Structure 1
Amino acid sequence: MVRRRKQNKSLVTLIIAVGLVLLSWTAFGRKIGLDEWLNQGHQTQTSHVENDEYTPDRQLAESVMSASVRQRLGQKIEWNGHGAFIIDDNRNDLNADVSSAPYAVNRKENGAMIGDAWLNRTTRQYRNRSETGQGRTDWRPDGFRQKLNLSGRYSHAYDRGHLLAYALVGGLKGFDASESNPDNIATQTAWANEAQSADSTGQNYYEGLVRKALDQNEQVRYRVTDLFEEGNLVPSGAHIEAKSKSGSLEFNVFVPNVQKGIEINYRTGCLGQPASQRVVFYCSLLHKNDIF
């Protein structure tokens, strides 16, 4: 009987010890995650792999940063380590002290396409495109020479890239936020348009910051400028700026219009494989199934 009690006591002691180890391991793991979040380092193993596999490296991102593009961006241009560039310490000259109804306009200026807006929660669109009659379209912007069945996360080359996104301005009466508005749509790579994590900062990531601000009843001045080299059909990238009236949100960034695994002829939109010694651009007529 005494021996059995000792065995039971040993078993309980072992269970408690294992529990303490697991608790310590969990707490340590949570602390590391919290520290990383607080420091905004985003240097976890997962994000590192994501950057390597999907996010443009600095060399690729800088391939569109010609002297003329740099001149139009700002005095200070810094690589953010996640596919894009921070301009002038994330500060911009937008005037967010506005007392007017929300608006959204498109214009062309010095060869650039510009989307300029004053947004609030009423401009947000939460409904699906199919519900608002602004769904999928076969219209294509200049240079949209699609290529499908690519390897990797982004299986296609191009999207119809909005300057002013449907989710931000789709609730604004009178503004055409569809995918067939030639003043608000340009040819944009899938990565530049869709990437939305802090480790892969495509345009959707920055639009997400504005969406969250609007959802919190902020008022936001917002401007997107697609920059083109002279004579090109495909923009070099999107210069994106935002500033909230309260001052809680402000950024000034450039998202390069690039994507791993493809090489773009920005003059025509033709595509090639950069790994090959001899690039053969994809410029054949599109089949019906190639329209995306």
Structure 2
Amino acid sequence: MTAYWKANQRRLAPLLFLAPGMLMFAIYVIIPIAQSMWISFYDWDGLGERVWIGTANYVELADDDSFYTSLKNNVIWLALYLLAVPAGLLIAIFLNQNVRGIRLYKSLFFFPFVISQVVVGLMFAWFYAPNFGLFYKLTEILFGSGTAVLADERFVTYGIIVAGLWPQIAYVMILYLTGLNNVAPDQVEAARLDGAKGWRMLWYVILPQLRPATFIAVVVTVIGALRSFDLVSIMTSGGPYGTSRVLSYYMYEQALSEYGYRMGYGAAIAVVLFGIMMIFISGFIWKMWRDETER
């Protein structure tokens, strides 16, 4: 055994270091995903006996109007949430400058990231509140009648997304600030000598060096947009009339709330959500891999 270890030490040592992390990943990620997929083929309340029903849960999803409402809202979340990436980049570039008071500005922009999503939800719920909310009062002054955003089917989803974008932009900003610290100054100086500045400098010199930060920013933003459970739960509980539901919240309603206890149906929703998430993330990983191989 000792002879085998000495002969293969370079090959085995990395595997030994990776083994604890891989074991935890398998226990807490891979196995639960597989179990969710398996449960989605059953009719089960979480306590009693499971009854195999095959693809019946997925067939029911295909005719479920609440599912399509949740799916539509998730698409809106995803489209608007990706605005956090360019917004975070622009703020990071501003905060990367050496100007007077920059530490204060960094603290103000960093603040949303360190507070709980529960606090964010409550703050914006008060901000939108009818009669006394700041936003309600502003719309009342400007348009003559106030807008109760969280009680209006037309605006409720967009109001929650704005609340989510506030801390998400701060998170993306931190990722880009870290990336900007690793930008090669010699490349920037060489580009300046060649006459590059402004958007040309950003597009051709800075952004290519920020690809790792961009990858992480897009991945965490996509994941945040697709799960988006906490703010919906805190601010509206899916209302009014279920119009602000997203897939993660609808899954909770069906599987774990007093409305459902349908673990199999909830698991089917979770599988669909996981599939959508993997499509977006895998597509972006493939694009980054193709760009790297073409360089």
TM-score (ref. length: structure 2): 0.29
If asked which structure has higher relative contact order (CA below 8 Å, sep 6+), I would say 2
State the TM-score, normalizing by the size of structure 1: 0.29
Higher strand share: 1
